[in-house]
Amino acid sequence: MERYNPWWKKETSFKYNEWLGSEINWVPDLVDEMTTKPFSLHFLFGPRQVGKTTAVHLMIHKLLKKNDPKSIFYYSCDSLIDHRELGEIIDNYLKARSAWGVGSSIIFLDEVTMVKEWWRALKERIDRGLLTKDVVVVTGSASMELERHKELFPGRRGNGVDYRLLPLSFSEYARFIGNTEIEHGGLADLEKNASANKMQGESLKELFGEYLHTGGFPNTIKDWRSYGTITPETFRTYLDWVRGDWSHAGRSDRYMKEVLSYILRSRGTPISWNGISSETSINSPNTARTYVETLESLFVTLTLSLLKQDGSIDRKKNRKVHFIDPFLYRLFSDYARVEILTDTILEAAVASNIARTAEVYYWKQKKEIDVVCKEGKEYYGFEATVSPGKKLTKPYHFARLYLMNKDSAPLYLTALEKKR
């Protein structure tokens, strides 16, 4: 256990030292937001390679300033097989801390979803009252595992909160990578904050062009900043991540590749489960649905349903499916050998960035509006295009309809603040 907890020997962790030496010293908000009031069972989930482990080590470094080093326990669970092994690790630490005279701990179990029936080890020890004075932070990449199994902890979360760590939004990218001072807030203040950000218009436009290539993943940003491109090794790392996770979920590589190809070829137009099954080797629309839902659960895609004029959601109509990060378009374009259009990446970037602020849908009456959201009783629409001179017709009951092109999108997207 000592190799995972070097602070017990008054040493700093490799991950923290790596972060210190990186040109990208991004500190996720959750590092300061996470409560350490016992008892808490927190869930932290998000895609792999997004920086969850680094965020955990930043939290640990912060906690070490006020806590006994031996009261902080970290373990990477990716080498464990099942809940029995995980239970032994927890029990060994609890015995050790008792001998050290430590009464309360903050326990980090990293990538726990790799462990078969991981939840059994925690649930049993919570029920036995072994963790009543502790804070337990469980991290995982597969949200379907964490979100499904967290239902098995009714009344066992204490002060626990769910946290998600996603690739950087463009607003975060501009602040943390571009070191740009910007105004940002909710949809009601979007126009005012976007106008204020015009002072940095040229630099934001340049950063946005970079963002549409790198997305918000730390390693892709590092590559671009160091080499002016994304290396084949980084492409391979991210592809191995998604393939490993969907294989862990029991999905076929061949079927998933066909589904990814179909999504890419749809270029942001609404799709149906029947459409996928008719144009791939998947025979059943229900099976096609499970493949798309798996991608969404793995934080790969974002699905938009149709929003009707009365404010209700029509879940029977075709859905728009976007990848949550610009880099994923380049990754899967290479994997599925499907050409991508800049318009498609731009629309997806708009949808996924606005989704950090509000629930997102699309709209279709006489014309289609790419992204729609509601704040209170107000509707806001966003139409994404790289084509100049496009004219917009705002539905009468919309508060605002925005044109999001390469000039305006950087201003509006930086003006958005993610919901807490």
Domains and CATH numbers, the chain: 2-164 (3.40.50.300), 170-414 (no CATH)
Q: Please determine, for residue 186, whether its predicted confidence score (pLDDT) is greater than 90.
A: no
Residue written as tokens 């084949």?
Answer: 232
Mean pLDDT score, 136-164 = 83
Query: Distance between CA atoms of 45 and 298, rounded to whole angstroms?
Result: 10
Question: Which tokens hold the place of 353?
Answer: 């960035």
* CA diameter of the chain: 72
Q: Between 253-266 and 285-297, two packed helices, what is the crossing angle to 10 degrees? A: 80
Pairing of strands 135-140, 40-45: parallel
Judged against a pLDDT cut of 80, whether residue 147 lies above it is answered with: no
Mean pLDDT, residues 229-244 taken together: 94
Residue 252's pLDDT band (cuts 50, 70, 90): very high
In which band, very low, low, confident or very high, does the pLDDT at 323 lie, cut at 50, 70 and 90?
very high
List Cα–Cα distances, 286 to 90, 275, 289, 301, 396, in angstroms: 40, 11, 5, 18, 37
Per-residue pLDDT at 129: 96
More confident residue, 49 or 203: 203
Q: Report the C-alpha gap between 134 and 108 in whole angstroms.
A: 11
How confident is the model at residue 144, as a pLDDT? 58
Write out pLDDT tens, residues 48-72. Answer: 889 999 999 999 999 999 999 999 9
Q: Which residues pair with 303 in a beta bridge?
A: 321
Structure tokens at 240: 């191995």
Query: Going along 144-215, which residue ranges are E strands?
Result: 162-164
Mean pLDDT of 203-215: 96
What's the mean pLDDT in 329-336? 97
Indicate the pTM of the whole model.
0.90
Helix %, strand %, coil % for the chain, to 5? 50, 15, 35
How much is the mean pLDDT over the chain?
Answer: 92
Distance CA 44, CA 121 (A): 18
Over 70: is that where the pLDDT of 244 sits? Answer: yes
The whole-angstrom separation of Cα 344 and Cα 384 is 9
Show the beta-strand stretches assigned E in 101-161: 106-110, 135-140
Whole-number Å distance between alpha carbons of 132 and 139: 20
Query: Would you state the pLDDT for residue 203?
Result: 95
Mean pLDDT, range 360-384, rounded to an integer: 89
The pLDDT-based confidence of 85 (bands split at 50, 70, 90) is: very high
In the chain, pLDDT over 90 holds for what percent of residues?
Answer: 76
Contact between 365 and 395 under an 8 Å Cβ cutoff? The reply is yes
Residue pair 380/373 in contact (Cβ under 8 Å)? The answer is yes
Q: What is the pLDDT of residue 100?
A: 97
For residue 211, give the nearest of 349, 344, 340 by alpha carbon: 349
Please, is 351 exposed, middle or buried when counting C-beta atoms within 10 Å of its C-beta (0-12, 13-18, 19+)?
buried
Q: Which residues pair with 372 in a beta bridge?
A: 361, 381
Mean predicted confidence (pLDDT) in 163-167: 92
Summarize the confidence of residues 166-181 as an average pLDDT: 93
* Distance, C-alpha 362 to centroid of its chain: 21
Per-residue pLDDT, averaged over 16-38, amounts to 89
pLDDT value at residue 218: 92
Q: Which two tokens stand for residue 83?
A: 């809940």
**How far is the C-alpha of 353 from the C-alpha of 174, rounded, in Å?**
13
Helix axes 201-214 and 342-354, enclosed angle (nearest 10): 100
Q: How far apart (Å, rounded) are the C-alpha atoms in residues 118 and 109? A: 10
Dihedral sign (CA 129, 130, 133, 135): negative
* Phi, psi of 271, deg, nearest 5: -125, 165
- Average pLDDT in the 205-233 region? 95
Residue 143 in this model has a pLDDT that exceeds 70: no
Reported confidence tier of residue 152, pLDDT bands at 50, 70, 90:
confident
Judged against a pLDDT cut of 60, whether residue 270 lies above it is answered with: yes
**Cβ–Cβ < 8 Å for 186, 193:** no
Q: What pLDDT score was predicted for residue 89?
A: 97
Res 264: pLDDT: 97
Judged against a pLDDT cut of 80, whether residue 391 lies above it is answered with no
